[in-house]
Every structure is written in structure tokens, then in C-alpha cells.
Amino acid sequence: MPQNVTSDQCTVKPTHIGGQALLEGIMMRGKFNWAVAVREPSGEIYTEEHDLISAKDKHAYLRWPIVRGMWGFYETMALAIKAFGISAEHSGESEEEQLTSKEISITMIAGLLLAVGLFIVLPAVLTNLAVGSSVDRPFTWNIVDGVLRLAAFFAYLWAVSRLKEIRRVFAYHGAEHKTIHAYERGLPLEMDVIQRYGTLHVRCGTSFLLMVMVVAIAVFSLVPGKAILAAWDVDGRGWVLLFNIGIRILLLPLIAGIAYEITVKWAGQRPENPLVKVLLWPGMQLQRLTTAPPDDSMIEVAVAAMNLVVAREQAEAARADGSAVGAPLPEFD
């Protein structure tokens, strides 16, 4: 970087590379591969990379708007389970502390059930108690349900952010964001450069989840629940509640697809757009709960994962244009 040019003056070129914080590690994902870097108890950084094979490469319909978000949500969850398993295997002090594949699967399933109960079932039950049947007051019911769901989401994030172990994961989350900030500006992935940046990022999964919550309020308000229940000749309060819970679970992939189009495909490619900044401001502020300032050792882990992805991107680009080699990757001093 020229001496007279500051990092803030660098042009931001949004990248498709994204990541995820893990147990004592980070996963980075590119177009062609995904890589995991984990700080082992010995202090060494363990790295592992895999080819990224997506069904979207074989089926064109999976690249359609909204559908691509729905499928991407599924692929992201599947990849998260694999990456979490790798970090769990290499971050434990002993074999007793390391989770088996079965334990990891059980943990993920339990987490999914907890999310459904906390963010779908509980708000619906409380709304039924406070408002009554959604058949009588559908608009009010959906608004109250949405507000309670947002409140549960905020409360959950605040509660887990108080836990010491989770704070370390959130610090690795911050390291991931800082590293991507530097990469998007074409800057060398060096410690002092990366640490200049903040821990908030427009393409963060936290912002995406908040957008899912907001989109859900709009989508559920448009569902003609009263007409559907009347057509089914259903009027019992308990059955109406079950209908509302069921429709929220069934429509979750659609809502995720819409939120993906807003946060990733539109806003993620226009980070400096004033409208984008206003729209995503709440999600950016929410990241203050899910990210924390990382120490230098965490940045080193993030760069180790990023280097594997960037190296693959360069190799594929070189292969495409017939070049022999790509530019060398920066290393820490």
C-alpha cells in the first residue's frame, strides 16, 4: 500500500468469500473450496481444506432468485456442522473433551429444536394468550407474534454473549470480519493492517438472521390464515395455534430465500449505498453482541483459513487464463 494512502481510502470490492467462527477457529468459504483453521492446545494452527461441491452447479433452477437462498441456507447449515466437527476435534485439551460425530449431530439437532421452540412455538403461545385467536384479529396477532419473536432473539443473543466460552467464539467472529475487510480492500493480510478494521460487516449472518425475523412478519401477515382455516372447517383455538406454528415452520425456507436476496445479493454487493446502510443498520448494531475484538492469535487463525481459500481462487484463475502461477500470498512478519 502506498505510504500516502490510508486503508480508509482503499476501494472496497465486495467478495464472495465468507466465513464462520468455530471453537478456537474459523472456517472460510470461497467459490471452489472451504477451509478450516483451528488453534490447537499446543499453540499450533491446524488447517484443513475441502473442495466445495454444490448441487447448484448441476441444477440451474437452484440458481433462481429466492430458490438459491433457500438452497444456500441448507448448504450453509450442512457445511457448518462439518466445520464445527473439525474444530471440536482439534480444539479440546484431551480426548475426553473432544466431541464425537454422534455427539456433534445430537448437539446440532438439539440446537435446532431449541431454536424452533424459542423463536416459533413460545412467541405463538404467548401471543395466543395475550391476543386470542388469530382468526379474530389476524393483523394484530401477527404483529405481536413478530415483536415477541424479535424480543426472544435479542434476549437469547444477550444471554449467550455473557458466557465466557461464547465470548471467545464471538472474538473469532470478529477476527473473521476484520480479515475479510482487509481482503475486500486489496490490502496485505498482515496483523497491523487487519487490526485497524472494526468487527462489523454488512454480510454477517447475524444481520441475515435479523432480516429473516423482519421478513417473517411481512410474509406471515400476508398468509390468508383465516380463509384457509375456514376452508378446512377448523375453528378450535388449539388447532388454530397449531396451524400458525406449522405454517411458520413450513415457510421458513421461503423467508430465508427472500432475506438472502436482500442481505447477500442486493445489500452485500452495495455496502456503500445510503439506502443499504439505513436498511441494514439494525443488523449491524446487533453484531455488537455477536462479535468481539479479537487478539492477534485469533487474527492469525483467520488469515490461515483465508490464505487457503485465496490460494485456491488464484490457482483456478491462473488455470482459466493459462498462467503458470498466481501472485504469492502475504505472510505475517
Q: Please report the DSSP string for 268-284 in residue order.
A: GG-TT-HHHHHHHHHHH
Helix (H/G/I), strand (E/B), else coil: 26? strand
> Phi, psi at residue 45, to the nearest 5°?
-100, 120
Q: pLDDT grade, residue 101 (50/70/90)?
A: low
Task: Look at residue 263 in the predicted model and tell me its pLDDT.
Answer: 87
Q: How far is CA 120 from CA 60, 142, 144, 292, in A?
A: 32, 12, 12, 28
Query: Within 10 Å of residue 318's Cβ, how many Cβ atoms?
Result: 14
Q: Which of 34-43, 73-82, 310-319 has the lowest mean pLDDT?
A: 73-82
Share of the chain above pLDDT 70, in %: 91
In a domain, 145, yes or no: yes
* Residue recorded with cell 468469500: 17
Distance of CA 302 to the CA centre of its chain: 16
* Residue recorded with cell 383455538: 237
Rounded Cα distance between 277 and 267, Å, is 8
> Phi, psi at residue 100, to the nearest 5°?
-85, 170
Grid coordinates representing 25 are 477457529
Q: Based on the structure, what is the number of domains in the chain?
A: 1
Task: Look at residue 111 in the predicted model and tell me its pLDDT.
Answer: 85
Rounded Cα distance between 83 and 27, Å, is 7
Amino acid letter, residue 310:
V
In a domain, 215, yes or no: yes
Residues in the chain: 333
Tell how strand 45-51 and strand 18-22 pair up. unpaired
Q: Per residue in 289-303, pLDDT tens?
A: 999 999 999 999 999
Residue from 204, 161, 209 nearest 180 by CA:
204
Half-sphere exposure of 142 (CA within 13 A, CB side): 20
Q: Per residue in 59-74, pLDDT tens?
A: 889 999 999 999 988 9
Rounded Cα distance between 24 and 162, Å, is 17
In a domain, 101, yes or no: no
Query: Within 10 Å of residue 319's Cβ, how many Cβ atoms?
Result: 11
In a domain, 307, yes or no: yes
In a domain, 88, yes or no: no
In a domain, 159, yes or no: yes
pTM of the model: 0.86
Domain span including residue 284: 106-321
In a domain, 308, yes or no: yes
Q: Which of 105-119, 241-255, 279-293 has the lowest mean pLDDT?
A: 105-119
Q: Per residue in 222-278, pLDDT tens?
A: 999 888 988 888 878 889 999 999 999 999 999 999 999 998 888 877 877 888 889
In a domain, 228, yes or no: yes
